[in-house]
Amino acid sequence: MAEKNPYDLAGDAATQLNETLGEKAGAHKAALVLGSGWANALSELGEQTAEVEAHTLPGFIAPTVAGHGSKILSIDTGDNKVMVFQGRTHLYEGHSGVDVTHGVRTAWAAGCEVIILTNASGGVNPDYEPGQPVLISDHINMTGTSPLAGPAPPKELGIRFVDLSEAYSKRLRELTKEIAPDLTEGVYAGFMGPHYETPAEVQMAKTMGADMVGMSTVLECIAARYLKLEVLGISLVTNMAAGVSDELLDHEDVLAVGKQSSKRVGTILNGVINRL
């Protein structure tokens, strides 16, 4: 039997997901992907009403990195409901661009219209400080791949040459700044990892226009825009990128800074989701 295309597979996952969460398709207006160390945002987000282990759904792969859970939660934010992907699959785990974007297609198939992508990053812009959240205004895809590479998507979804002129929704950025006026915007360069960048690579990213470097988000954003989901990206700068400060990079520090700072972003996200 021929393998299912990724969109049909996501449809299967979404049907089971909505059933398990006890919700109809479209009940969750938004999906939220929580990045490394963002777990503390959860307590501020709202009331959890249901959860499912992601890898029990068709097409989801169990993650391997410490600090990345694998649950999908249904959270009532007060005026809305959000589907929260706790943890994500990364390219550096050896998976493909299609694999790491299964959650995005599942959120779309489950009826979400907005996807909020969060991550941890290294600050390239010297004005940034560890612990600072930054709205992603645009990205540079340094992974060398695309979630749209491979067999052509089903005809009814349209051609895969998707426009990325406004990959990260201006409307959602403005809405977020109404709630948190001090937030700045920056460009996120997504590398494959899992190694951190060399100082020379960080310098290259800076020259290309990046304010932050990280190992996720860019492929999810592309997959989401193909499906016409509106994307909000928020990056928590957990450290200064290699060579920007004298400090060496340590994964435990990255998680710890995320833990300390993500509570505030949880409150901001609650406000944004309620106003969608």
- Are 140 and 188 in contact by the 8 Å Cβ rule? The answer is yes
Counting contacts by CB under 6 A, is residue 100 touching ligand HPA?
A: no
- Are 236 and 38 in contact by the 8 Å Cβ rule? The answer is yes
Q: Which residues contact 164 (CB under 8 A, 6 or more apart)?
A: 222, 225
Helix axes 170-179, 251-274, angle to 10 degrees: 90
251 is an active site residue: yes
Of residues 79 and 247, the one with the C-beta less far from ligand HPA: 247
- Active-site choice (7, 185, 251, 274): 251
Q: 112 phi and psi, to 5 degrees?
A: -70, 150
Residues 216-255 contacting ligand HPA, CB under 6 A: 238-239, 241, 249, 254
Of residues 116 and 254, the one with the C-beta less far from ligand HPA: 254
- Are 70 and 60 in contact by the 8 Å Cβ rule? The answer is yes
Q: 195 phi and psi, to 5 degrees?
A: -70, 150
Site map for ligand HPA, 156-195, x if CB under 6 A? ----------------------------------------
Of residues 172 and 202, the one with the C-beta less far from ligand HPA: 202
Q: Which residue is nearest to ligand HPA (CB)?
A: 122
68 is an active site residue: yes
90 is an active site residue: yes
Of residues 84 and 241, the one with the C-beta less far from ligand HPA: 241
Helices of type H across 94-212: 102-109, 170-179, 199-208
- Active-site choice (119, 169, 216, 235): 216
List the one residue from 42, 167, 215, 255 that touches ligand HPA (CB under 6 A).
215
Q: Which residues contact 77 (CB under 8 A, 6 or more apart)?
A: 45, 46, 270, 273, 274
216 is an active site residue: yes
102 is an active site residue: no
Counting contacts by CB under 6 A, is residue 265 touching ligand HPA?
A: no
Which among 12, 30, 177, 186 has a CA at the least distance from the CA of 102? 12
Binding site for ligand HPA (CB under 6 A): 120-122, 196-197, 213-215, 238-239, 241, 249, 254
Q: What are the catalytic residues?
A: 36, 68, 90, 92-93, 120, 215-216, 239, 251
